[in-house]
């Protein structure tokens, strides 16, 4: 039931299944902890040494992500081991967990039947990857999905898809395959949707090319709100240093991104609860703007964790609404879904 382990020198603590931080009672030394980290890395192609003082890798048969930093970058060994939620996450399952309402889940399902582009945001541990996995699982089997990640966390069994993982440089400082390289490659592989596990840098600029390629994308980014997520994506794209003005990048994303979904979590479990709450706080539609800045329309809003996620009464822009209506089965219509009166097969 352990979710994440933290190692700081000789001190070891962990977050249990209820979301509470606890310390390991049995003492360890930094040397022992470093030995364990090296054993975990021995089954990967990653190295932790003075030439590579920072490392990220999949460990424990791919069930966890290890991030480690050693001196001189850190004062002492500093590492986290985070377990993946390897269960098959679905939109219906997130409704059962009260992360989504049926109406919001139905709306996101409809988005995935098209080539709409979706941005997921939130702090670390808010459930962004779980929601991204549920969205990928909701895509039609005939859609070609290309998923790229720095360290693989998505394990969704779908028919027409491929998963790619970046690679750090070898001991000879060669052979690096960056996340940006992967996004560039999959753009040439006729995807219906490109999925980027976590956008943090220059790979964001390659997503501006997705608009020209006619494909959608779904990605996650760390941000404090849905509006902040849009600015964070622009800032990441500017890191590519392609000598493209920021208003141009902003304009491309304002016409490319259809929806932003923001999630949040408790800092500590509420009194009497069984664990941390991870919930969708807002779903915004991005409206094509006349100016350089983003224009958004809230579709679903949750005022605070634990309160209901409510439809605002707004609908997406006409172009998005028309695209979604064409993808819906039978006589379903978008307003019925948003209101939660009639739902697609999520």
CB 154 within 8 A of CB 139: no
Q: How far apart are CA 277 and CA 125, in angstroms?
A: 10
Q: What is the pLDDT of residue 85?
A: 64
- Return the higher-pLDDT residue of 324 and 174: 324
Render pLDDT for 277-320 as a digit per residue (tens, 0 to 9).
899 999 999 997 766 789 999 999 999 999 999 999 999 999 89
Render pLDDT for 84-127 as a digit per residue (tens, 0 to 9).
765 568 999 999 999 999 999 999 999 999 999 999 999 998 99
Q: Which residues contact 13 (CB under 8 A, 6 or more apart)?
A: 5, 6, 21, 22, 23, 24
Helix axis angle, 203-213 to 246-256, nearest 10°: 50
Q: What is the pLDDT of residue 19?
A: 79
pTM score, whole prediction: 0.87
Render pLDDT for 53-73 as a digit per residue (tens, 0 to 9).
999 999 998 889 999 999 999
Q: Which residues contact 87 (CB under 8 A, 6 or more apart)?
A: none
Render pLDDT for 227-285 as a digit per residue (tens, 0 to 9).
999 999 999 999 888 888 898 899 889 988 999 999 999 888 887 777 788 999 999 99
Bridge partners for 56 per DSSP: 67
Encode 120-146: b = buried (16+ Cβ within 10 Å), e = exposed: bbbeebbbbbbbbbbbbbbbeeebbbb
Looking at every residue in the chain, the average pLDDT score rounds to 90
Render pLDDT for 2-32 as a digit per residue (tens, 0 to 9).
889 999 999 999 988 777 889 998 999 999 9
Out of 19-33, 93-107, 168-182, 322-336, which region has the weakest mean confidence (pLDDT)?
A: 168-182
- 211 has a pLDDT exceeding 70: no
Please give the structure tokens belonging to residue 55. Answer: 């490392």
Q: What is the pLDDT of residue 86?
A: 52
């Amino acid at each position: 039931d352990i979710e994440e382990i933290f190692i700081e020198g000789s001190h070891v603590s962990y977050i249990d299944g209820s979301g509470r931080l606890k310390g390991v009672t049995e003492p360890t030394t930094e040397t022992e902890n470093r030995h364990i980290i090296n054993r975990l890395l021995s089954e990967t192609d990653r190295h932790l040494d003075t030439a590579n003082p920072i490392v990220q890798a999949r460990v424990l048969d791919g069930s966890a992500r290890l991030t480690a930093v050693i001196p001189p970058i850190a004062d002492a060994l500093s590492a986290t081991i985070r377990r993946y939620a390897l269960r098959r996450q679905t939109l219906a399952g997130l409704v059962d967990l009260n992360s989504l309402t049926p109406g919001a889940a139905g709306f996101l399902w409809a988005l995935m039947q098209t080539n709409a582009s979706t941005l997921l945001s939130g702090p670390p541990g808010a459930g962004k990857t779980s929601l991204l996995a549920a969205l990928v699982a909701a895509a039609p089997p005939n859609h070609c999905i290309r998923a790229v990640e720095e360290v693989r966390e998505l394990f969704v069994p779908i028919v027409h898809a491929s998963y790619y993982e970046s690679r750090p440089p070898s001991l000879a400082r060669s052979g690096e395959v960056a996340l940006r390289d992967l996004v560039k490659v999959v753009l040439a592989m006729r995807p219906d949707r490109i999925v980027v596990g976590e956008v943090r840098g220059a790979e964001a600029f390659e997503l501006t090319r997705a608009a020209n390629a006619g494909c959608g994308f779904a990605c996650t980014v760390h941000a404090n709100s849905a509006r902040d997520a849009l600015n964070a994506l622009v800032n990441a794209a500017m890191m590519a240093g392609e000598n493209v003005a920021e208003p141009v990048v902003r304009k491309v994303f304002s016409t490319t991104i259809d929806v932003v979904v923001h999630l949040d979590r408790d800092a500590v479990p509420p009194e009497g609860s069984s664990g941390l709450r991870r919930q969708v706080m807002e779903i915004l539609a991005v409206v094509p703007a006349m100016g350089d800045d983003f224009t958004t329309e809230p579709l679903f809003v949750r005022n605070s964790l634990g309160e209901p996620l409510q439809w605002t009464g707004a609908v997406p822009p006409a172009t998005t609404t028309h695209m979604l209506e064409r993808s819906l089965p039978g006589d379903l219509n978008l307003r019925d879904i948003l209101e939660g009166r009639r739902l697609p097969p999520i």
